[in-house]
Amino acid sequence: MKNFISVHDVTDINALVKKALAFKANPLMSQSLGKDKRIGLLFLNPSLRTRLSTQVAAKNLGMEAIVFNVDKEGWALEFEEGAIMSGNTVEHVKDAAPILGSYFDILCIRTFPSLKNKEDDYSELYITQFIKYAGVPVISLESATLHPLQSLTDIITIQESLQAQKITRKPKIVLTWAPHVKPLPQCVANSFAQWVNAWGEADFVITHPEDYELSEEFTKGATITHNQDEALKDADFVYVKNWSTYTDYGKIYENDPRWMLDSEKIALTNNAKVMHCLPVRRNVELSDEVLDSPNSIVTQEAANRVWAAQAVIAEILGGK
């Protein structure tokens, strides 16, 4: 693996999941793989789980991890080619990226979308420019349109749960939109859809109110419906997530509280396991009742972030 930006960087999802679960069973089994190597974690946006789990994963591999909050500790970067930099941006990615590449063996980058200009966001300019100029492997810690470490974690958690429940048939997985208080990126939903489709071992349904259609680039292969109750029927896994509109970009069209996942909705499912990438707005996206029930596997899911990151870093270090 050269970079880790989307599911397209992975040749065998199940093999990567297996590797991650091996690390979960034995976190320090490859403690010398990263000896005398360094991983740089650059945040253009805030992070809790992603930052800490990636630091822990790197340490488990014997690597030195250095965090740099570009937004707070550094300055505004310029990403446009040919920019006349007489404004607020202080340094061009063409200058910053190769230098960071000289300091680190692997660069990890988090950068959010503007939610203002769809073309810009969906061109993935920021992370693409980093890859172009860094000269070392780049791992996405969430980009404008995708969150691949989260999605790998999600597949890991689903497989783990299937094994624990001894389910061998094809599970039904439902990705459902949920209400929120502000416009959020489509990244987690796009990425989850992309990975579940690429994995191919589930009946996959996406449900959301009208006007919240995601890009077909990621959803193609899933069944899409505006009827949440119907979607939830017999679900084995319900993935809850808010996103803002994609078509008329970055807006909140409707925020119907009845889309919140509560116990009544769970009753429609096959006693489904409930997932969420966190942070979650309790009693807005998901009810306390559900989150505090045995149906919720959100803590297990977030804890699995470590093993996803560790598997990806190990693949890159191993040059596979």
Q: Is 183 in the site for a copy of itself (CB under 8 A)?
A: no
> Of 100 and 108, which CB lies nearer to a copy of itself in the complex structure?
100
For the chain, helix (H) and strand (E) counts, in that order, are: 14, 11
- Please report how close the Cβ of residue 58 comes to a copy of itself at its closest, in angstroms: 10
Cβ-contact 201, 13 below 8 angstroms: no
Q: Is 226 in the site for a copy of itself (CB under 8 A)?
A: no
* Distances from the Cα of 4 to the Cα of 34, 152, 308, 313, angstroms: 17, 11, 11, 9
Number of residues that bind a copy of itself (CB under 8 A): 58
End-to-end Cα spacing for the chain: 5
Cβ-contact 216, 195 below 8 angstroms: no
> Of 43 and 212, which CB lies nearer to a copy of itself in the complex structure?
43
232 is known to lie in a ligand binding site: no
Task: Give the one residue of 33, 56, 198, 252 binding a copy of itself; rule: CB under 8 A.
Answer: 56
Task: Give the one residue of 6, 30, 50, 55 binding a copy of itself; rule: CB under 8 A.
Answer: 55
226 is known to lie in a ligand binding site: no
Cβ-contact 53, 309 below 8 angstroms: yes
Q: Is 181 in the site for a copy of itself (CB under 8 A)?
A: yes
Task: Give the one residue of 200, 221, 279, 318 binding a copy of itself; rule: CB under 8 A.
Answer: 279
> Of 70 and 314, which CB lies nearer to a copy of itself in the complex structure?
70
Span 87-126, contacts to a copy of itself by CB under 8 A: 87, 90-92, 94-96, 98-100, 102-103
Q: Sketch the per residue contact string, 128 through 167, with a copy of itself: x for CB under 8 A, - otherwise.
A: ----------------------------------------
Q: Is 291 in the site for a copy of itself (CB under 8 A)?
A: yes
* Distances from the Cα of 164 to the Cα of 25, 52, 267, angstroms: 15, 27, 21
Q: Is 288 in the site for a copy of itself (CB under 8 A)?
A: yes
Reading the block at residue 197, the tokens are 């489709």
Alpha helices in 135-244 (DSSP H): 148-164, 187-199, 216-219, 228-232
> Of 67 and 268, which CB lies nearer to a copy of itself in the complex structure?
67
Beta strand 172-177 with 203-207 is parallel
Residues in contact with 236: Cβ distance below 8 Å, sequence separation at least 6, in sequence order: 162, 167, 171, 172, 173, 269, 270, 272, 273
**Distance (Å, whole) CA 73 – CA 198:** 38
Residues in contact with 59: Cβ distance below 8 Å, sequence separation at least 6, in sequence order: 65
Cβ-contact 112, 142 below 8 angstroms: yes
Q: Is 37 in the site for a copy of itself (CB under 8 A)?
A: no
Span 57-86, contacts to a copy of itself by CB under 8 A: 59, 64, 66, 68-70, 72-75, 78, 82-86
Q: Sketch the per residue contact string, 4 through 33, with a copy of itself: x for CB under 8 A, - otherwise.
A: ------------------------x-----
Amino acid at 272: A
Alpha helices in the chain (DSSP H): 13-25, 49-60, 70-73, 93-103, 118-122, 125-134, 148-164, 187-199, 216-219, 228-232, 263-266, 288-291, 298-303, 305-317
Binding positions for N(2)-succinyl-L-ornithine are 142, 180, 241, 281
Residues placed in the known binding site for carbamoyl phosphate: 47-50, 75, 110, 147-150, 277-278, 305
Enumerate binding residues for a copy of itself (CB under 8 A).
28, 36, 38, 40, 43, 46-49, 51-53, 55-56, 59, 64, 66, 68-70, 72-75, 78, 82-87, 90-92, 94-96, 98-100, 102-103, 181, 278-284, 288, 291-292, 298-299, 302-303, 306
